[in-house]
Amino acid sequence: MKIIKFLSKYFVFVCLSFVALYIFLNNYFDNATQENYRYSIATLTKTTSKGKGGWGNEYNYIFKNSTEKGRDNITEDSVEYYKSKIGSTFLIKIHSNKWVNRYFFTSRIYINKPAPDNIKEAPSEGWKELPKWAK
């Protein structure tokens, strides 16, 4: 019986340690995106309800020759606006390392910067600087 209590406490400690590590790394990489970033173009794909967790939108973008997915939280009063923009393309800011975007969701969509019709896709590595059309 004592060994079960010990193992359960150890298990809880290990799980909480992983959660704390993830939160720490998420904050670290989110801040690192301010320095190690690229710009790309994303297509807004859907707006979803997270129940009591609020609302979110999802989008796809191409970075380093592979299609990646991103997501952001949005407020409830802007849901209809985002739904009307599904299928449209917008500028996004992403971390320069693909795996950081995938595991820590550091990409941010700029809904106020739609991509012009004559630009269908961004360079494979993204833009290092804000494109002229987005300034």
Per-residue pLDDT of the chain (135 residues; tens, 9 = 90+): 677 777 777 788 888 888 887 777 767 766 655 667 889 999 999 999 888 878 999 999 999 888 999 888 898 888 999 999 999 999 998 888 777 777 767 788 999 999 998 888 889 888 988 898 888
| Torsion sign across C-alpha atoms 109, 117, 112, 133 | positive
Angle at CA of residue 124, ends 86 and 120, nearest 5°: 40
pLDDT per residue over 4-21, tens digit each? 777 777 788 888 888 887
Three-state DSSP class for residue 131: coil
The CATH code of domain 33-134 reads: 2.40.50
